[in-house]
Each structure stands twice: as structure tokens, then as C-alpha cells.
């Protein structure tokens, strides 16, 4: 069973993570999370976000899940011989003070088999599991790729 508290879904809880906290308490931050609705009905969707590590220690994300989808994988799109191919990524390492982008054409969450149809504007809860066993939650907004994410 993955360990997380419902409180972790609240953005205000994520703001409590400041560099001053000890390594055990400091958690990475998820920002500007969104899910791209597929152009046609498909059993999979891609999720994107920026993950920031404001902590003093490196962190690694080793798994992802969502109550809205049957399965979630961490993927990377790469061009091989002129063709875009996706491969599964075992872990995402983020150095202290650094951030990574999950964005179209690169890293993304592959969200398989939605439990229900998702409409634009809806929010999809996801949980990322860290290598140290802790979890962080975030809501990804369903929206088309063109619109810039709301500033926070
Ligand atoms: Cu993928």
C-alpha cells in the first residue's frame, strides 16, 4: 500500500515545503500539472508537470499512480530513426535546488485506462512515489496544450 495523506493533495500543503525544513520533512513540489486530452477516444492520456526539488538532498521519483486511471507509467519520448518512440523510465532523479520538466515530446506520465471519461477543466489527482518511500500528490488539470498554465 502506498503511503500518502489526503492533505498532500492540497497545494497549500505543498507550499509548506521550504528549504529550511530538514531532509526528512522537505518534499519536492509539483507545479503547472496538466493532462492532454487525446484528439480521439483513446485508452491512454499523457500528463505533464514541472517538478522542483527545493530540498538539500537529491530526490528520485520511482513510481506514479492515480485513482482516476488503472495504471500510470513514467515515459520518455525519443526520436529513433526519425520516429518518435516512448520508453519507460525507471526513475527521475532531481538534484537539490533543481527541477525537471515533463513536457510534450519528452518526459511524461502515461495514464492508462481512465476510470471515467475526463472533460476539459477537470482535475486529475496523481501521486508520485519517491525512492525513500514518501509520496507527493498533485492535481493535473485536463486542458489542451496551447493554453499557458495559470501562474502561481
Ligand atoms: Cu508515453
Q: What is the CATH number of the domain that holds 37?
A: 2.60.40.1890
pLDDT at 134: 96
Distance between Cα 88 and ligand 1 center (Å)? 8
Percent residues over pLDDT 70 in the chain: 80
CA distance 48 to 106: 10
Distance between terminal CA atoms of the chain?
Answer: 32
pLDDT at 13: 47
Low-confidence ranges of the chain (pLDDT < 50): 1-2, 4-14, 17-19
pLDDT at 40: 77
Distance between Cα 61 and ligand 1 center (Å)? 16
Is 147 a member of any domain? Answer: no
pLDDT at 8: 46
pLDDT at 106: 95
pLDDT at 147: 55
Give the SS3 label for residue 57.
coil
Distance between Cα 75 and ligand 1 center (Å)? 5
Distance between Cα 109 and ligand 1 center (Å)? 7
As for how many domains the chain has, the answer is: 1
For 4-55, the three-class secondary structure string (H helix, E strand, C coil) is: CCHHHHCHHHHHCCCCCCCCCCCCCEEEEEEEECCCCCCCEEEEEEEEECCC
Residue 116 sits in which domain range?
A: 6-142
Amino acid at each position: 500500500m502506498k503511503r500518502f495523506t489526503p492533505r498532500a493533495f492540497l497545494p497549500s500543503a505543498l507550499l509548506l515545503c521550504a528549504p529550511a525544513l530538514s531532509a526528512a520533512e522537505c518534499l519536492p513540489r509539483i507545479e503547472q500539472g496538466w493532462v492532454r486530452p487525446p484528439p480521439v477516444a483513446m485508452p491512454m492520456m499523457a500528463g505533464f508537470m514541472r517538478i522542483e526539488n527545493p530540498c538539500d538532498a537529491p530526490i528520485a521519483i520511482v513510481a506514479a499512480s492515480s485513482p482516476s486511471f488503472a495504471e500510470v507509467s513514467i515515459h520518455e519520448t525519443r526520436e529513433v530513426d526519425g520516429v518518435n518512440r516512448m520508453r519507460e523510465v525507471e526513475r527521475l532523479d532531481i538534484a537539490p535546488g533543481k527541477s525537471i520538466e515533463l513536457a510534450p515530446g519528452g518526459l511524461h506520465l502515461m495514464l492508462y485506462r481512465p476510470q471515467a471519461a475526463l472533460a476539459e477543466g477537470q482535475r486529475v489527482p496523481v501521486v508520485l512515489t519517491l525512492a525513500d518511500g514518501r509520496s507527493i500528490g498533485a492535481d493535473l488539470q485536463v486542458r489542451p496544450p496551447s493554453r499557458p498554465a495559470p501562474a502561481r
